[in-house]
Structure 1
Amino acid sequence: MFLSIGTTLTIVKDIEENNSEKFKSKVVDTGEGYVMIDYPVNIETNRTTFFIDGTKLQISFVQNNISYSFKTEVTGRANKDIPMLKVSYPGDKKLTKIQRREYVRVETAVDVAVDFGGTFHQYVTDDISAGGIALNLGPKDSFEDGEKVRLTIALPFLNDEIKYIKTEAQAIRTWMKNERAIASLQFLDTTPKDRQNIIRFCFERQLQARNDA
């Protein structure tokens, strides 16, 4: 099964009604033909949401840098240490691959705080896009491929406004650039509002670079 315990999920409710409301959740258990997830949290309000049995959902997730989605419905619930929802799972062969839009990536230095399970480290980006970032690593720093961390990104705009982006990210690879180690991370649960702020920031930096050329 592509889905494993701990996989971050993005959920859209009432897909037939073209509802844009999105939620995030995680896989807490799996079985034959079903997946157990923790109670979804509304991405915009950060409030836990209760879905009744029969609620239609569309779930998407990232695995090995590829996005997948599937249609499902709530079929039950359980309470083992934490409250869980049971949703049907059609099987790996019936997943739909999502063609991810390529975002504009700009080379710029932005401060990023990385939360390694309660231990915070400060980094500076090599580049950033609405899909992910590349971090400059110190000589003793390293990321495991597939490692998931929480990020807080400070985006300084030209009008002196600073937007703070908080998102989970997954390490994709570590590579060398001009004898420096760089870690590429993909965003996993960026809110639409935060994504638009990153796109705005990248666009602003592009214009600034052109004006300075």
Structure 2
Amino acid sequence: MKIGTVLKLEKIEPETGYSNTYRSKIIEKEGQYLFIDLLNDNKTNKTTIFPKGTPFKISYVGRDQSVHLFNTKILRLAKGELPAIVIELPSEEKITTIQRRRFVRIDTAVDVAIHSSDISFTTVTVDVSGGGVSIILPPSYTFEIAENVEIWMVLHMQSGEINYISAKGEVVRIDDNESLRKASLKFLSISKNDQQAIIRYGFEKQLEARKKELL
């Protein structure tokens, strides 16, 4: 983990099962101790203070684009020019890696707009990843392999945050199944922020699916 790494913190109330998420980032690191920004509530966008000992489940995207997850708690509030929260980073064996591949495809329907030099249309995705998307091809629309397109998507995060994604892509495969025609598009150019947003979106969908399996 490096200075500036963005953290997602989830707090679960054991009595009710209610959970809420907060965001922060690492501003300093001393051995196994992390100094992070004061927490911002993802729903209200307000700074929230918690007492010493408050437990959190923390996730972050690593340099390898994998999502890492660990449990920790607030140790203390460090006062100074920039107040910071001190938490402990557990040993590596206590950090779970959710995504081991560079880009994990998540089956999900997301509204998407496609533009090429010849056609434009809106549709939904079949799956998404940090490396590209598969989309449903509406009737009467088709592509050529290696054709360049512009891709626009809207991702609704669990926090209520909305991310508008834009990327340049290339058609790598057409599936002309009679019942459902699909096109696979590889990202050729996408901003780091947009790619990170897609990875976080996929991570949230994975956790959502795991929670449903446990019900």
Question: TM-score if structure 1 supplies the norm length?
Answer: 0.54
Query: How far 1:89 moved relative to its partner?
Result: 1.1
Contact 1:41/1:47 (8 A) holds in 2: yes
2:35 counterpart residue number = 36
Query: How far 1:34 moved relative to its partner?
Result: 1.3
1:102 counterpart residue number = 106
Query: How far 1:76 moved relative to its partner?
Result: 0.9
2:9 counterpart residue number = 11
**Higher mean displacement: 33-42 or 88-97:** 88-97
Taking a change above 3 Å as real, the CA distance of residues 21 and 65 of structure 1, as seen in their structure-2 partners, is same
Partners in 1 of 2:72 and 2:24 — Cα distance?
Answer: 14
Contact 1:24/1:189 (8 A) holds in 2: no
Unaligned runs of 5+ residues in structure 1 are 112-126, 139-151, 156-163, 196-213
Amino acid at match of 2:106: E
Where do residues 98-137 of structure 1 align in structure 2 (5 Å cutoff)?
Answer: 98=98, 102-104=106-108, 108-109=112-113
Amino acid at match of 1:6: G
2:189 counterpart residue number = 183
**Higher mean displacement: 95-104 or 39-48:** 95-104
1:50 counterpart residue number = 49
1:114 counterpart residue number = none
What secondary structure, in the 3-state scheme, does the structure 2 residue paired with 1:75 have?
A: strand
| 1:40-89 CA-partner distances (Å, limit 9, x unpaired) | 11111111110111111110111122111111010012234322100111
Contact 2:110/2:153 (8 A) holds in 1: no
Taking a change above 3 Å as real, the CA distance of residues 22 and 167 of structure 1, as seen in their structure-2 partners, is farther
Unaligned runs of 5+ residues in structure 2 are 116-123, 134-147, 156-160, 173-185, 206-215
| 1:124-173 CA-partner distances (Å, limit 9, x unpaired) | xxx966765859799xxxxxxxxxxxxx9668xxxxxxxx92379xx9xx
Partners in 2 of 1:24 and 1:107 — Cα distance?
Answer: 26
2:213 counterpart residue number = none
Question: TM-score if structure 2 supplies the norm length?
Answer: 0.54
Partners in 2 of 1:153 and 1:53 — Cα distance?
Answer: 40
Between the aligned residues of both structures, percent identity stands at 27
| Residue 81 (structure 2) pairs with residue 75 (structure 1) | no
Partners in 2 of 1:130 and 1:49 — Cα distance?
Answer: 33
Amino acid at match of 2:2: S
What secondary structure, in the 3-state scheme, does the structure 2 residue paired with 1:186 have?
A: helix
Query: How far 1:25 moved relative to its partner?
Result: 0.8
Partners in 2 of 1:29 and 1:98 — Cα distance?
Answer: 25
Partners in 1 of 2:171 and 2:4 — Cα distance?
Answer: 32
Taking a change above 3 Å as real, the CA distance of residues 71 and 15 of structure 1, as seen in their structure-2 partners, is farther
2:178 counterpart residue number = none
Contact 1:15/1:57 (8 A) holds in 2: no
